[in-house]
Structure 1
Amino acid sequence: MKKSERLELIKKIVLTNEIETQHDLLELLAAEGLRLTQATISRDMNEIGIIKIPSSKGPYIYGISQDSHQSVSPPPKPIKSTILSVSQHTSGLEHMLYLTVVPGNSRLIKRFLLEDFSELIFSVLADDDSLLLIAKDTAAADTVRQKVENWMTEQD
């Protein structure tokens, strides 16, 4: 199966099923005759723009970002709803921001931050549910912090 066909199959499965974990997605793909590693599925999900979103039943499930390749100003609702908090100034660390996000979404948020603020950012470190953004200086950190806070409070 070609990569483009695999990506389309993953999109179809995510859009037609409530999937809570990568393991669940791997099982559904195996049922379609496609056996992948967790690393491959993780890369494919990132490329597609699959993020965790709240389900109608309560737990977070995988969904597809409304806009995974364009600027996030303003951010699509799934992106906006995945940022849970952003740190305020911490003495001696004014050039850094710490963001908490819905688990499984930090890599996508990192990509959007780097696309929108590349000239202001020195580096971004991401794990499953948080990001540490190191800005080039305090003014750059304040600019990014203000924009992220605006994303979190914008009305639909």
Structure 2
Amino acid sequence: MNKEMRLQMISRLISDHEIKTQEELGQWLHTSGLQVTQATISRDIRELKLIKVPSKDGRLKYSFKIDQDHYISEKLRHKLRDALIGMEVINYFVIIKTLPGHAHAFGALLDSMEISGKAGTICGNDTCLIICRSPEEAVSIKQQIALYQE
């Protein structure tokens, strides 16, 4: 079996099953009739850009980046609903006011998202400051975040 076919098989296995370890992936490949080394599995995971995300049982499983983006979007949607007090734009900044203790969670979620025009975030206890590359991008970023509230 060539490399492309092996990568397709791994992709299908990751899509169909909650695979949590390289050893488990190796067992699934073996069951499918393919003998591979741990080093090959590791390289294939890197090439497919697989990441670990929480599974239904709370442990980590392999997944594709697209799934991770969906997971982050859902977390942001819930965080906005549960802890947002308000947002405003001032020049190059978007200021997010939260319930006490929630600003860092907003910052971590926003930092993990690729948002055009965002230079970074600084968070305190109840305020998350998004530093933008221009005042126009600050308005755009606020609008993009607001879409998660709908």
TM-score, normalized by length of structure 1?
0.46
- After TM superposition, the score normalised by the length of structure 2 is 0.47
CA radius of gyration, larger in = 2
